[in-house]
Chains A and B, each alone.
Chain A
Amino acid sequence: MKIEIRTAINGRELEASVKPNQTLLEFLRDDLHLRGSVEGCGVGVCGSCTVLIEGRPVSSCLMLATNIEGKQVTTIEGLAVGDQLDPVQQAFLDNQAFQCGYCTPGMIMTTKALLNSNPRPTEDEARDYLSGNICRCGTYAEVLAAVKSLSGKTPPPPRS
């Protein structure tokens, strides 16, 4: 059995048929071939599968694909515009805020969500917000430096 959904992924509207038990992560990776979001734990605690739904961070390994009906989904692939990196991506590059890179897309998406909701986070606020993204390589100090470099530089998201 399949269920028809209408959604928008990275700004492009699309219709798709998904299985009722298919996770959003499986839909993104298997059906749409968007492989930047990855599975780390499968139980929604490591953050490496984080995508934004209507600008808010979600563990795509826990959400069902059917739940994005009518919603705007942003994945890591949707941040850069052509060669123009998103400021968060640029800050991660400039601050060397990654090592193996596996958790990086999720970390970037959560940082994006943090700055959307709080453009000038204190270090404690950033730690708290990003504590659901695990980096076993231990690159936390550099991620915090990237967040600090972005503080106050992100314009608030357009009101809709």
Chain B
Amino acid sequence: MTGLGVNVSRVDGPAKIRGWAQYTADVELPGMVYAKVLRSTYPHAKLVRVDASRAEKLTGVVAVLTRDDLKGMNAYFGPVVKDQPVVAIDRVRYVGEVIAAVAAEGRDIAEEALDLIDVEYEALPAVFDPVEAMKPEAPALYTERVKAQSFPAKSGFRLESTGNVLSTYHVEEGDVAVGFRESDEIFEDVYTSQKIQHGHIEPHAAVAYWEPSGKLVIYTSTQTPSSIRAQLAELFELPQSKVRVVVPFVGGGYGAKTHPRLEPLVSVLARKAHRPVQWALTREEVFLTAHCQAAVVKLKTGVKRDGTIVARQVEAIYDAGAYALTSTNTARNGGEVAGGPYRIGHQHLTSYCVYTNTPPTGPYRGFGVPQVCWAYESQMDDIARRLGIDPLELRLKNLVHEGDVFVTGDKLVSVGISECVKRAAEAVGWERDKEQGFRELSGKVRGKGLAVMIKTTMTPSNSSALVRLNADGSAVLLTSSVEIGQGTQTSLAQIVAEELGIAVERVSVTFPDTDVTPFDQSTSSSRTIFTMGGAARQAAHQIRQQLLEIGSRVLEADVEDLELVDGFLEVKGVPEKRRSITQLFQARFGAAVGNMVGSYDNQTTGGLDPRTGKGKGSAFFFLSACAAEVEVDTETGKVAVQQVVSAVDAGKAVNPRQCHLQNEGSMIMSLGSALFEEMVFDNGQPINSTFLEYMPPSMEDHPKVFRSLLVETPHPEGPYGAKGVGEAGLGPVEPAIGNAVANALGGIRFRDLPLRPDRVLTAIGSARGKEK
């Protein structure tokens, strides 16, 4: 073994613990100037006047960018619909939208220049709630629908032509009307999820410059270098070969660094400045740049008395904010799996992506799934309670199995969900205490809860990899996968090492540089190990074949009888008959020179038909379960999580420790959004956009019993059976905690996130009132 399935130490470890790792804001170029931007103070307004003439005259200002500079160029961008201008043109649509930008010799000068820009607004009526925004009388964010589109036909959703609903996704199976008639009990509820910050500790940053030849070079903290290159090329009408995107280490993203964020503006500003321009956001600006879509989920479920789920109807409304980005896909993604990982004969699932006058959102770890999982898994416990069935039993009775056909038409493979939930339940000692009546609730009470989840990955998608083997038996993997903390450089090195039979330490993995590294769809959707891992394995495999063929001649043996071990090609069972990789190079090239090269373009195929919502929704499915135990203080309303255990199906864990670390990240992140994280707005004005008022979980919130479990149900198409885990654990944490709180409080159900102490106290109070 060369390290597959082993906890190989992180290749980026030494740089990171020495403070040597370079992030985008650390990049310094000769002559570099600094950008600051002027942002809208109105949630919705016409821009009557933008006058930057006084700012331009300030000493130290190099360039000022306003809408006037966008004349004659493609001024709009967007990965799905091109609705977002480089800077605001005719109107602003959220508090914080960029109106103008200054590049100056110092950040303080740039800041000072912003005060000299005069802006005149004409306020427009605004809408902040997605349900309100769907009403015909709601103020419209767009007077006419954007025509330019750039997304695959099989994305599943339909674009709407008017109003604030941007897109709709729908899929159905059977006939829910029949299903509800056949049901013994019907459950109908509305659940809401709040706006959440991604909270990556590295704020977004980018540095751009233009070579005199007309080539654009940009260093950026992104998860999607290939997409950035494509969109910048379109914006400036350049061949993609004349846009170079370089991505150093990225300090977390969780979805917030996908697709253009800072890149269009800083590139236009650098062109005007004729200097390299650095734009690094402050934390407050990060709050205005991306967040998780809030959602309202209406859920109706019909069940038999024995616990069989017969029918489920879901309407999920996602708040995209003011610009689309990929919220269309997020809403579809939630819609697809809104029925949960259950066998349900009658399903009717619809999701909407709706514009509001709030900051743009972005993919957030879980990509639309936690919002629906919160709904269906909370309701599942209400069902269990009413029917008098243990929540674990109820789930096991209805869960999907290997080979089942999902509502999208996908045949499910690698389905370790039952094992996940059983192991998570066992780990918290699943035997629930008898629930108390509301009047007996006093002091601190404890409860346990469970939840499960199914999620898709981006499909179709492409990843290309290129491997070069050197004559000394070392190799380089050229890849555009981003090292964002998940350990991708290490796990991809493990795959290449395994395939070539060399030590992991002899494999080097590049950072993305689109001049050099091949195309990759994105470092998102937990797709890297499956799709890029598959590409890297195949690329290395081609070199392996070359080595075997050369060795077959040199050693006079059949290819089938040869194996690569520790940098040597050996005849199986005859270890003295062997050649080093260097000797094989000599046999081929006459000297220890040259390269053997392998490359592979990996594509996952599929997609969903927008008319039916069906097709092949996912190259693989994420399946996971969470079990939690909480202690609720009935006097203060505070919920303390005592135990949280998450079990995810990793397919095959290439590096188990990295899988656990990623999973632990999902667990603690979701614990924050379950209990306290919430972006608050007042008439579109952000109220808590610093870490003083919006605090991600700290070590004090970290539960004492905190366990990640890996189930391994190999996926036939994943490299060595592997599939992603980065987001798998996130969805079930919120409902598992909610269910544990309900269990502690005699069945009191919370339908709105987060489970703030005031909400808990109010609910206890009203339950006591009803019981009297």
A residues at B contact (CB < 8 Å): 21, 33-43, 45-46, 48, 75-77, 79-80, 85, 89, 92-93, 96, 98-105, 108, 126-128, 130-144
Contact = CB atoms under 8 A, between A and B. Distances in A.
Interface stretch (B47-55, B404-412, B467-475, B698-706): B698-706
A46 to B, nearest CB: 5
B735 interface: no
Contact of A140 (B17, B25, B199, B702): B702
A100 B702 contact: no
B29 interface: no
Nearest to A26: B107
A21 B27 CA distance: 24
A77 B667 CA distance: 32
Interface in B1-52: 7, 9-10, 12-23, 25-26, 28
Given A127-B699, A143-B699, A98 B252 contact: no
Contacts of A96: 7, 9-10, 13, 657, 661
Interface stretch (B305-313, B433-441, B482-490, B609-617): B482-490
A36 B18 CA distance: 8
B21 A142 contact: no
A38 B23 contact: yes
Contact of B16 (A45, A104, A138, A140): A104
B691 A101 contact: no
Nearest to A90: B17
Nearest to A132: B698
A36 B690 contact: no
B130 interface: no
Nearest to B10: A96
Interface stretch (B152-160, B200-208, B341-349): B200-208
B668 A140 contact: yes
Contact of B667 (A21, A34, A42, A138): A138
A124 to B, nearest CB: 9
A160 B251 CA distance: 38
16 contacts: A34-B19, A40-B691, A77-B18, A77-B19, A79-B18, A89-B18, A96-B13, A99-B486, A102-B23, A102-B251, A103-B251, A128-B700, A135-B201, A136-B252, A136-B254, A137-B665
Best-surrounded residue of B251, B254, B696 (most CB of chain A within 10 A): B251
A38 B25 contact: yes
A4 B690 CA distance: 33
B699 A131 contact: yes
A96 B487 CA distance: 11
A139 B696 CA distance: 13
B19 A37 contact: yes
Contacts of A138: 661, 664-669, 697
B692 interface: yes
Contacts of A93: 9, 13-14, 17
Contact of B19 (A75, A137, A140, A141): A75
A148 to B, nearest CB: 13
A97 to B, nearest CB: 8
Contact of B283 (A33, A42, A101, A132): A42
Nearest to A101: B16
B250 interface: yes
A102 B202 contact: yes
B291 to A, nearest CB: 14
A34 B19 CA distance: 9
Nearest to A135: B201
Given A138-B667, A141-B706, A101 B22 contact: no
Instruction: Determine the main DSSP class of A at the interface with B.
Output: loop
B484 A105 contact: no
B699 A100 contact: no
Contacts of A99: 252, 485-487, 661-662, 665
B695 interface: yes
Interface string B677-710: 0000000000000111001111110100010000
Interface residues of B, number: 57
A84 to B, nearest CB: 12
Contact of B691 (A46, A102, A108): A46
B282 interface: yes
B700 A100 contact: no
Contacts of A92: 17
A139 B698 contact: no
A13 B706 CA distance: 45
B696 A134 contact: yes
A19 to B, nearest CB: 8
Contacts of B487: 99
B363 to A, nearest CB: 16
Best-surrounded residue of A48, A85, A96, A101 (most CB of chain B within 10 A): A101
Given A100-B201, A101-B485, A127 B691 contact: no
Nearest to B483: A100
Contacts of A130: 699
Contacts of B202: 38, 40, 100, 102
A137 B485 contact: yes
B702 A127 contact: yes
A75 B20 CA distance: 12
A146 B667 CA distance: 20
B600 interface: no
List of 10 A-B pairs having minimum Cβ-Cβ separation, nearest first: A36-B19, A100-B485, A102-B251, A76-B19, A101-B16, A99-B485, A138-B668, A138-B665, A41-B691, A105-B19
Given A137-B661, A141-B706, A142-B661, A101 B21 contact: yes
A77 B20 CA distance: 8
Given A43-B690, A98-B17, A144 B699 contact: yes
Contacts of A21: 108
B249 interface: yes
Contacts of A141: 664, 702, 706
B203 A40 contact: yes
Contacts of B486: 99
Given A43-B283, A144-B699, A136 B201 contact: yes
Contact of B201 (A76, A134, A143): A134
Nearest to A92: B17
B17 A85 contact: yes
A17 B682 CA distance: 44
Contact of A100 (B13, B14, B252, B690): B252
Nearest to A22: B108
Contact of A131 (B9, B22, B254, B700): B700
Interface string B463-506: 00000000000000000000011110000000000000000000
Contacts of B108: 21
A100 B203 CA distance: 13
Given A45-B691, A45-B692, A139 B665 contact: yes
Interface string B279-306: 0001110000000000000000000000
